[in-house]
Chain A
């Protein structure tokens, strides 16, 4: 039996989506612009894309690059960020470098990278890697810096070496912050995935989108936007599930601490 409040909470996202589509539909009907299809037209185009083998291969290729880029970025950035957070020397060395790279749109580096590495998977994966790395490094850095000194002292008293403390105390203690960075990284991976395919058109979800744009197939363009958006929501939901499981300990199960002394 679901309470009315619980029902409202569950229905809210669905209602928001329906509301957005309704506004889109109304705006499109009012504007009567060829390049702005109605929501219904766009949704109708989705099965055609997902039913087409070629398109599916493209989308899966995109996701594969994204997974590889994201995976490499996370496995490099977390150790680097943690080291920076615990060592002044490492932080002093990498901080200026990262500060220079952070504000540069990674897509802006793409033409140069394409000159070096071609238009293939390596270039696109590298751009995704760059996009994901910085927020993950930054959050790992902040998380590691915030680890309570006395927690490390407690570990040292138990006989943990500095390396063991980094892996067995700093890493788990900073995990909530690291995963916040990874979540931002995941969204950025999706964005850089599409932009990289916009610049180096060869395959992928971005390729379908921009080819359709060139050919004036606006219903396909908008259908792809919906598909990419849906992919983002699904990935985020999966990630959130994993995150909640990993850092269960950092969120209270009870509103109030048990009274006991």
Chain B
């Protein structure tokens, strides 16, 4: 049996032969090797096992190049692992599907569609009637704070607004799991903070399972139930940390909370041990 270092974890734990019924995603000894040149292989992920429970907000934290995004792409079905497998509700993931909704750092909006057109795209593809899809999409656009921008093209929006559209577009087709790949990584500090707050508010309404990749320690602590700390070369799980902070979380309260501060300091120290010289990003 694989032993993954873990501190008493109810949300994230090593996969045991008796699979816990509540795990929605199970990653079983996934390895991912990229051939960078004829002689040298880059081991992006080495024997990763992880189970994620339904309704959990789990962050994957690690330095650049530790394979954390690759792990997310494996769950998304965008990349097939060199060995091992990922499962959703017990079914092996063979490719992308509407049960897992990605949100990328690059937004990846459809630039030829308006905000409304982008958000409606998923529901329309799923066969939802136009009028119904439009009503749902307008409600989502309002929820992410973009009421009045329905007919704007992505080109006319700021980075923060684009990421709001991307989130609404993904929520629109009701994925069971949100896969967020450094979604706020390209945004300025202020925008980032506002989006973190808004994401938490949205998440606290329906508590969808979220897998959230980030390299920011305080972002991971602020948002998550669990932080999965990865180390690089090869990409391994170093530690799984429960974030035992009350919800709903308010930034102003949390920043003054000694427990929050301790999590951040502890994890930052671990981060430094994992990546002593800092990594080029």
Q: Is the CB of B126 within 8 A of A159?
A: yes
Tell me which of A148, A250, A253 contacts B108 (CB under 8 A).
Answer: A148
Q: Do A249 and B191 touch across chains, with their CB atoms under 8 A apart? A: no
Selected contact of B158 from candidates A160, A169, A257, CB within 8 Å: A257
- Expressed in whole angstroms, the Cα–Cα distance for A172 and B169 within the complex equals 18
Which one, A15-23, A118-126, A149-157, A223-231, is touching chain B?
A: A149-157
In the assembled complex, how far is the CB of residue A179 from the closest CB belonging to chain B, in whole angstroms?
12
Task: Tell me how many residues of A have a C-beta within 8 Å of chain B.
Answer: 27
User: Which of B46-54, B90-98, B218-226 sits within the interface?
Assistant: B90-98
B interface list, Cβ under 8 A from A: 76-78, 95-98, 100-102, 104, 106, 108-113, 121-122, 125-126, 153-158, 160-161, 169-170, 173, 175, 187-188, 190-191, 194-195
Q: How far is the CA of A249 from the CA of B97 in the complex (A)?
A: 28
Bound: A156/B99 CA distance, A: 11
A252 is an interface residue with CB less than 8 A from chain B: yes
Chain B residues near A173 (CB, 8 Å)?
110-112
Determine whether the beta carbon of A156 is less than 8 Å from that of B95: yes
**Nearest neighbor of A148 in chain B, beta-carbon distance:** B108
B235 vs chain A, min Cβ distance (A): 20
Tell me if A160 and B125 are in contact (CB < 8 A).
yes
With contacts defined as CB atoms under 8 Å apart, how many contacts are there between chain A and chain B in the complex? 91
28 A-B pairs whose Cβ atoms sit less than 8 Å apart in the complex: A150-B102, A150-B104, A150-B106, A151-B109, A153-B104, A154-B110, A154-B170, A156-B96, A157-B100, A157-B101, A157-B102, A158-B122, A158-B125, A169-B110, A172-B110, A250-B111, A251-B155, A253-B156, A257-B157, A258-B161, A260-B157, A260-B158, A260-B160, A260-B161, A261-B188, A261-B190, A261-B191, A261-B194
A93 at the interface (CB under 8 A from B): no
**Which of B97, B109, B111, B153 makes the CB contact (< 8 A) with A159?**
B97
Are B112 and A172 in touch, CB under 8 angstroms? Answer: yes
Taking a contact as CB atoms under 8 Å apart, the answer to whether B112 and A154 are in contact is no
- Select A157's contact among B96, B113, B153, B194, beta carbons within 8 Å: B96
Chain A nearest CB: distance from B32 CB in Å? 16
A116 interface residue per 8 A CB criterion: no
Would A157 and B160 count as touching, CB distance under 8 A? no
A250-B155, A252-B155, A258-B161 in contact; A151/B96 too (CB < 8 A)? Answer: no
Q: A252-B155, A257-B158 are in contact. Are A153 and B125 (CB under 8 A)?
A: no
- A33 contacts partner chain B, Cβ-Cβ < 8 Å: no
A-chain residues with CB within 8 Å of residue B187 when the two chains form the complex: 261
Contact across chains for A249 and B153 when beta carbons are under 8 A apart: yes
Residues of A within 8 A of B104 (CB): 150, 153-154
A150 vs B107: C-alpha distance in the bound complex, in angstroms? Answer: 8
Is B190 touching A258 in the complex (CB atoms < 8 A)? no
In the bound complex, residues from chain A placing their C-beta under 8 Å from that of B110 are 151, 154, 169, 172-173
The 6 closest A-B pairs by CB, nearest first: A261-B191, A150-B108, A156-B96, A261-B160, A158-B122, A172-B112
